[in-house]
Structure 1
Amino acid sequence: MPQPAGAQAPSAGEVRAIAREAMIYGFPMVDSYRIQHSYFVDRGGPEYKASWNTLVNNARVYTPEDKAIQTPNSDTPYSYVGADLRAEPLVFTVPTVEKGRYYSLQFIDLYTFDFAYVGSRATGNGAGNYLLAGPKWKGSKPKGIKSVIRCETDFAFVLYRTQLFDPADIEKVKAVQAGYKVQPLSQFLGQPAPAAAPAVTFAKPLGPEQERGSLEFFGLLNFILQFCPPHPSERALMARFARIGIGAGKPFDAATLSPEIRQALQDGMADAWKAFAEYKATVLDTGKKTSADGFGTRAFLKNDYMARMSAAVLGIYGNSKDEAIYPLYFIDAAKQPLAGANRYVLRFAPGQLPPVNAFWSLTMYELPASLLYANSINRYLINSPMLPSLKRDPDGGITIYLQNESPGKDRETNWLPAPKGPFFAVMRLYWPKQAAVNGKWKAPPLARAA
């Protein structure tokens, strides 16, 4: 690993410490690249959606067959745009959406920051045109544009969610999706297109398991960083990373390193995952912070890279706290990991349903894959649109049964099937009310049934 003139090569201990830091910093970026490569680059792959700057509407909810994104929601059909902003901005057009139907466009950069929103909460359900501009664009707001959204990286991912009330509602969702439109600014203005950006030879991504331990991780991070202009708050961090060969566009060939340095890099990566496990056990599982604290803008996160890493590991592309919050159930009320060998109940006392402006859901995920669980009744979640069909307790509350086998015919409407092995569940509150955001309302514990 070349060093600046006069700089001393880092010791194995220093390499290990920096590698740990780089894994915590870079994992969300490398994992997000894996997903976006599968969606917008790998044309022969099973998850491919479309080329860059092309809107794709998915008029269905996710099922266990959707495997690219961990902890996907199955409440809202998704639409997607992989945005290449190097040549010119894109104009995003949204239609008027009926009152009472939640929708959102979540703008995510290469760092995985949620840097902007359009939709029911952020801009209302009225129609409008919004301009998404990359870091090199110096123009001013054109006529007909409601607002300019600025992204600090050359590429972005725009994730749409359109609420589906029930299976019979899908045609109305399709009608909303048909009103979504994306076009280059030049096309919107009726002007000639600028010169195309240089073609990119996209690096081959690592698989989910390889990302955690392969030294190719650092080469991928370098590839991604070339599309991320340095941020002033990270200059010292980038100078430190450069000590082990990490930097925008730099080649990283682990084969040229000594066995001692390669081992130090591997140890540093392992240290990062140990730090994540400790953070999850002592901060997230204890409720000191929620997973929602790891999603948001750069200003919101204040360079808390462990929070960002944990958010990516547990549910990449989660929303910012004002848009949605995600109470997680990894352990039961007795602090024990969840397993399908046991039966659990989640009870909402009268008047204590999740406080939302849009809707809430509870979704089951199989471990270790963190994907939806295929089951005999094809039910992956229970959500607020299902309330009319749920059976009420004698006092008017609602009990949900999380277990592998049916709780009995009289309770099946309230049954969320669990796998036989380990699992976790995620509650989602879309457009949460203030009582949920400030912690006045708390998600009820998941209790093991007698």
Structure 2
Amino acid sequence: MVRGARGRDADAMQTVRPFVSFDAAADPEQVRAGEVARLRTAATFLWLAMTPGFAFVRQRSNFILGWPGAGSLGSWMMLPDLTSPQTQTVLPMNDALYGAAHLELDLQGPFVVRLPPDTHGRYYSVSVMDAHFTNVAHLGPRWSGREEVEVFLVPPGWAGEVSPGMRVVEAPTPSVCLLNRVLVTAADGDLDRVRDWRSGFTLTPLDPAPAAADDHDLAHEGLATLTDPWRFLEIGYDHLRRNVLPEPARWAVQLVPESEVLAARGQEWSRRAVQDGIRDAQTMVDASLTTWPRENGWMLPQPWMGLPNPHVLETAALELFQVGFNDMTEATYFFGDLDEDGKRLDGTEGASYALTFSPGELPPVHAEGFWSVTMYGADNLLVANPAGRYSTRPAHPGFHVDPDGAVTIVLSASAPDGEDGPNWLPAPDGPFRLGLRLYYPTDAVLAGSWVPPAPGRVR
């Protein structure tokens, strides 16, 4: 029996051609198999490379088609309230008000971005992102100070005149997105103060009568539920014609010409090759998120996240996991769903966990920043609870820090021993995930020498 098994292995090895050989006289069946493999592989990486841009188009479409609070392109959409369990955006933060704007710089021309002076010493950020959600620039206290901010945002290759002393940000793509977040403290009336302060955020076009960019077929309905691979490719290619990928990722759309990919729909064998390649990509994304590098149960951020990079698989996975990642210098995210024993975090049947930061091991952030922990259910949305608490951080009134500087946050569906203060983060009666966010993290985080501790089960 052993000899038979070894014989089968030997037979299998004989089917593998030496890697230095080739056959310049392949028969038609072999040629077709090679063409199928080429198209399938190209479609896989094409879908991955297009996914961040598709996410951008989907968000812009929602903006144009009537997101609550959204206006026209070139204007701010300011959400008036903190996120809640009714918020359908996955993995939202709950410590700041969100805002966004979409600009089409080739159609509307350059814009002046103005932010009023910050007189309250709070964290805020305006991130300029290109048409693939790659970070271009950040405005905020650590980068631009607390005085009035005035930045001239221009399209690629723009060569006009600029007022002396004005900072110029040249976007690498004509389509850009500005995402803002402004920290809301627990002080009475602070939500209204933030609303009032954000009303001073302005976007002023250089051209007083810019083109009506909304008329340029920039919005598409039904993208959140789109399953047609050919429609995805058409939208993706259309987006790329105006908005090139960051240079390190361009290889993934250059494997096969656009004309050949779209023409593949015309024949059964080539149509199937492209569709199979896209299914391969989706399978690869799922596997990438499942096997993402972890430590202490937390998914580890990577230094290339949010920046131009060649990692099209991982970047696509991140954009599907949470749209619009900041780069690590602005904000570093840790997401975790495992305890110290590698078991799934689960609040069923009264289970309770403790997330304990030892003395001197609190999440390290610069003075202008902050850190917080947010609770999510299995659906990656905020968890409804009687306390109305969806995240916690040391600045919350009543947050307890031990005399030696240690901090413990209890994670459970019911309040521990009747204590419902901010050291308790209510969990669902089921599986959950944590999000630890560090805004303006220190070098220890950026270098990977600091990672969060694993939650330990205490009941």
3-state DSSP of counterpart to 1:121: helix
Q: 1:230 to 1:401 in 2, by over 3 A?
A: closer
Q: TM-score, normalized by length of structure 2?
A: 0.83
Alignment of 1:353-364 (within 5 A): 353-357=362-366, 358-364=369-375
Q: TM-score, normalized by length of structure 1?
A: 0.84
Deviation readout 1:300-321 (Å, 9 max, x if unpaired)? xx32222322321222212111
2:242 matched to 1:227? yes
Corresponding residue to 1:296 among 303, 306, 324: 306
- State the structure with more CA Rg: 2
Q: Report what 1:4 is aligned to.
A: none
Amino acid at match of 1:22: L
Task: Give the conservation status (yes or no) of the 8 Å contact 1:340–1:422.
Answer: yes
3-state DSSP of counterpart to 1:183: strand
Task: Give the conservation status (yes or no) of the 8 Å contact 2:69–2:78.
Answer: no
Alignment of 1:37-186 (within 5 A): 37-39=61-63, 41-43=64-66, 46-47=67-68, 49-67=70-88, 69-86=89-106, 87-98=108-119, 100-143=121-164, 146-166=166-186, 168=188, 169-186=190-207
Task: Give the conservation status (yes or no) of the 8 Å contact 1:18–1:244.
Answer: no
Deviation at 1:362, TM superposition (A): 0.5
Deviation at 1:202, TM superposition (A): 3.1
Alignment of 1:19-418 (within 5 A): 19-39=43-63, 41-43=64-66, 46-47=67-68, 49-67=70-88, 69-86=89-106, 87-98=108-119, 100-143=121-164, 146-166=166-186, 168=188, 169-187=190-208, 193=209, 199-208=215-224, 210=226, 214-229=229-244, 236-242=251-257, 245=260, 252=262, 256-286=265-295, 290-298=300-308, 302-341=309-348, 342-357=351-366, 358-368=369-379, 370-386=380-396, 388-393=397-402, 396-410=405-419, 412-418=421-427
2-structure distance, mates of 1:241, 1:74: 43
Amino acid at match of 2:332: I
1-structure distance, mates of 2:306, 2:392: 26
Q: Report what 2:24 is aligned to.
A: none
Structure 1 unaligned residues grouped into runs of 5+: 1-7, 188-192, 247-251
Q: 1:262 to 1:343 in 2, by over 3 A?
A: farther
Identity of aligned residues (%): 26
Amino acid at match of 2:61: H
1-structure distance, mates of 2:248, 2:436: 34
Query: How many equivalent residue pairs?
Result: 421
Q: Indicate the larger mover: 224-233 or 86-95.
A: 224-233
Task: Give the conservation status (yes or no) of the 8 Å contact 1:292–1:319.
Answer: no
Q: 1:47 to 1:379 in 2, by over 3 A?
A: same
Q: 1:226 to 1:421 in 2, by over 3 A?
A: farther
Amino acid at match of 1:178: S
Task: Give the conservation status (yes or no) of the 8 Å contact 1:16–1:268.
Answer: yes
Q: Indicate the larger mover: 172-181 or 106-115.
A: 172-181
**CA RMSD between the two structures:** 2.8
Task: Give the conservation status (yes or no) of the 8 Å contact 2:347–2:429.
Answer: yes
Deviation readout 1:176-222 (Å, 9 max, x if unpaired)? 212211110134xxxxx4666693123525544546x7443212212
Q: Report what 2:11 is aligned to.
A: none
2-structure distance, mates of 1:77, 1:21: 36
Amino acid at match of 1:55: W
Deviation at 1:223, TM superposition (A): 2.5
Deviation at 1:289, TM superposition (A): 7.4
2-structure distance, mates of 1:410, 1:198: 52
Task: Give the conservation status (yes or no) of the 8 Å contact 1:407–1:415.
Answer: yes
3-state DSSP of counterpart to 2:96: coil
Amino acid at match of 1:71: L
Deviation at 1:361, TM superposition (A): 0.6
Deviation at 1:411, TM superposition (A): 5.1
